Amino acid sequence: MIITSQQFTDYLLKIGACKDAINWQNGKDLKTAWENCHSAEWLTWLFDQAQLTTKHESVLLTIGFAESVQHLTEEPTSKACLQAAKDWAENPNEKNMLKADAARAAARDSDRAAASAAANAAAWAAAAARAAALAAARDAARDAARDAENLKNADFIRQTLSFDDINERLYNKINNISL
């Protein structure tokens, strides 16, 4: 089961991959792209568009991504939601599913209020941060940090998911094989 470079390119075009991703992938088969992709965003986009991950795998990835930024919030609803997801991932029974659903609903409500407050805070922060030199330095630092975090998350994806499973699922999808 080998997905050739051309098959991979054709499939990425079929599902609407961005030009940057197509240009980067050019000439790479799935295994080479998997091993060398530094963008967790591209990998998770592919998984979503092609429906390559199971619900359990998606939850494990989401938990890992959330844990990597958990230090940025003290908000108890977010922490409860993360814990409920972890409980379900470790023991996917009905009780833990109900806990996760309740925590997700509470987090959604909390996120709406937080988004409004964040928008107000962002407006004030933007007004205060007009100096061009500081903005350029901040942007460069943010881009470097985002790139480093994206690579870290891409590595986490490769550690969490099996390439062979992803390869088999994509091969079956490309070749219209139902399991």
For 44-85, the pLDDT digits (tens) are 899 989 999 988 888 888 888 877 877 777 777 777 777 877
- Cα(162)–Cα(150) distance, rounded to whole angstroms? 19
Confidence of residue 108 (pLDDT cuts 50, 70, 90): low
CA torsion 94-99-102-106 (nearest 10°) is -160
Q: What pLDDT band is residue 112 in, cutting at 50, 70 and 90?
A: low
Task: Report how far residue 60's alpha carbon sits from residue 54's, in angstroms, rounded to the nearest whole number.
Answer: 10
Candidates 127, 109, 118, 122; CA nearest to 73 is 118
Residue range 95-122: mean pLDDT, rounded: 60
- Lowest-confidence pick of 87-101, 133-147, 149-163: 133-147
Per-residue pLDDT at 133? 41
**In the chain, pLDDT over 70 holds for what percent of residues?**
75
Residue 178, φ and ψ in degrees, nearest 5 = -90, 140
Task: Give the chain's largest Cα–Cα span.
Answer: 58
Distance, CA of 63 to CA of 44 (rounded, Å): 14
The 3 state secondary structure assigned to the chain is CCCCHHHHHHHHHHCCCCHHHHHHHCCCCHHHHHHHCCCHHHHHHHHHHHCCCCHHHHHHHHHHHHHHHHHHCCCHHHHHHHHHHHHHHHCCCHHHHHHHHHHHHHHHHHHHHHHHHHHHHHHHHHHHCCCHHHHHHHHHHHHHHHHHHHHHHHHHHHHHCCHHHHHHHHHHHHCCCCC
Rg (CA), the chain: 20
- Is the model more confident about 129 or about 37? 37
